[in-house]
Amino acid sequence: MGKVYGILGWINFFSFTETKEKIFSYLPWFILKNKTWETIQLKNWKQHNNHFIIQINNIVDRSLASKWTNTEIFIDKSQLPKLKKNEYYWNDIIKCKVFNIQNKYLGIVTDLISHEYNDTLLIKNDFTKNNKKIMIPFIAEKIVKSIDITNKIIKVQWN
């Protein structure tokens, strides 16, 4: 959740689901607050420019809403649609080990970045001298040769 919107307790909200509005069908939401999982009861939501604004139950003014800013929400993975063979969710790719086709270890996926033309794997290798992150375009078959979610291994055409 982003910063507060207005004086009535609305909060800016950014969805990272493929279809942005789909996040509102994955209720309830959860947050980790003070090392305890809490459920969020959504009162209302609206589209606003390229994101959404939301109202949480019992949050009626700006000062109450400010306590919820810069918070990540979580959903129960069992709510997500079942995937077909060779499909995966982004969070399944995080922490996969990446090797090039010559079997050289490149690092571990720390994030995926969505761009207009293609997604990008962000890879970190703790064994290199300068701990540089590598960005590899996520282009299936051409660059990303295989993904083994079970063993958490990705093979890429990359030097």
The residues pairing with 113 across neighbouring beta strands, listed in sequence order, are 120
Give me the domains of the chain, ranges plus CATH numbers: 4-77 (2.40.30.60), 90-156 (2.30.30.240)
**Cα–Cα–Cα angle for 112, 116, 119, nearest 5°?**
25
pTM of the predicted model over 0.85: no
pLDDT for 112-130, tens place per residue? Answer: 988 878 889 999 987 766 7
| Residue 43 Cα distances to 6, 10, 53, 132, angstroms | 16, 10, 11, 44
Winning range, highest mean pLDDT, from 77-86, 103-112, 121-130: 103-112
- Three-state DSSP class for 48? strand
**What average pLDDT is seen over the chain?**
89
pLDDT, tens digit, for every residue of 8-47?
999 999 888 878 899 999 989 998 878 889 898 999 999 9
